[in-house]
Amino acid sequence: MKKHQPKISALIIVYNEITHIDDLIQHLNFVDEIIAIDAFSEDGTFEKLNHYPQVKTIQRKFLNFSDQRNFAITQASNEWILFIDADERITPKLKDNILEAVKNKTNTIAYKFPRKFVFEDKIMRFSGLQTDKVFRLFKNGSATYFKDKTVHEQLDIRGKKAVMKHYMLHYSFSGVNHYKNKIEHYAILKAQELLKKGKKPNGYHFYIKPAYKFINNYILRLGVLDGKAGYIICKLNAYGVWYRYQELKRLTSLPKL
C-alpha cells in the first residue's frame, strides 16, 4: 500500500511585487497548491500571477497583515500550510527540511525558519538580523494570526513548535527608497495599532527609542561589521521607530468624530 504523502498549500499575500513573482513561483515548485492574495496591485503583479496556471489568485482589499493572512489560511485545502512572502526564497536544503518535516509523524505542528537578510547579493551577518526567525510552516487548522497584531504579525499556535535547521533567504532590500517606503508602511500600521491601545507618544519615543535602536543594532549587535550596508540598514530601522511615533502623534492630534 502506498504511503500517504501530506500535501502542502503555499500562501502568499502580495501588493506591487512584480519583480519577485517569477523567482518566487520557481522556488515553490515542490508544493501542491499555490494561493496568492493580491491587494489590488498597480504594477502588473496580478496579471503576472495569472500567467501561472498552478497559482490561484484572489484580489482582496488590504486592511492589515493579520487580517490578510488569516483570510489566506481559509483558502488553503491541504494538510500543511507554507506561508511565504514575495521577497523570501526557499533554499534547496530548506526545501528538504520542509518535505521531511511534513512526512515525519511527530506531534510538532509549527516550524520557525531562520532567515538570512540579503543586501545587494550579499548575506548580512549582523545588524540585529542574525537572530531573525519567523514561523512559515504549520498544520492547517492548528494556528491563526493574532487579530490585534496588525503588523509584525504573530501566530497563535496550538501545539508543539520547532525550528528548522536550514535558513530561507530574505530579499527585503531592493534599494534604499524601497526599503524606506516599506518601513514607513509598517510604521503607519504599528501606529494605528498603538492608537487602539490608547498609547500616546512623548520625548522618549521620539529621541531615546530611535537612538537605542540604532546603537543596539549597529554597535551592540555588530552592524558595524556589515560595513556601509550595515550602517544603512541600522539607520533606516531606527528611522522606522521615529516615524512610527510621528505617525502616532499625528493620529492622536486628529479631532475625534
Contact (CB, 8 A) for 237 and 180: no
Partner residues linked to 134 by β-bridges: 113
d(CA 245, CA 179): 18
What pTM was computed for the model?
0.86
- Comparing CA positions, the residue from 11, 16, 35, 27 lying closest to residue 155 is 11
What pLDDT was estimated at residue 3?
58
List domains and CATH numbers for the chain.
8-172 (3.90.550.10), 175-253 (no CATH)
Q: CB count, 10 Å around CB of 43?
A: 12
pLDDT tens for 100-128 read 999 988 899 999 999 999 987 788 999 99
Task: Judge whether residue 2 has pLDDT over 60.
Answer: no
Q: What is the pLDDT of residues 124-164, one digit of tens each?
A: 999 999 889 999 999 999 999 998 877 778 999 999 999 99
How confident is the model over 162-206, as pLDDT tens digits? 999 999 999 977 778 888 988 999 999 999 999 999 999 999 999
Q: Long-range contacts for 152-160 (Cβ within 8 Å, ≥24 apart)?
A: 152/186, 152/190, 153/65, 153/66, 153/69, 155/110, 157/109, 157/110, 158/109, 159/107, 159/108, 159/109, 159/110, 160/106, 160/107, 160/108, 160/109, 160/110
- Cβ neighbors of 147 (< 8 A, separation 6 or more) are 66, 67, 70
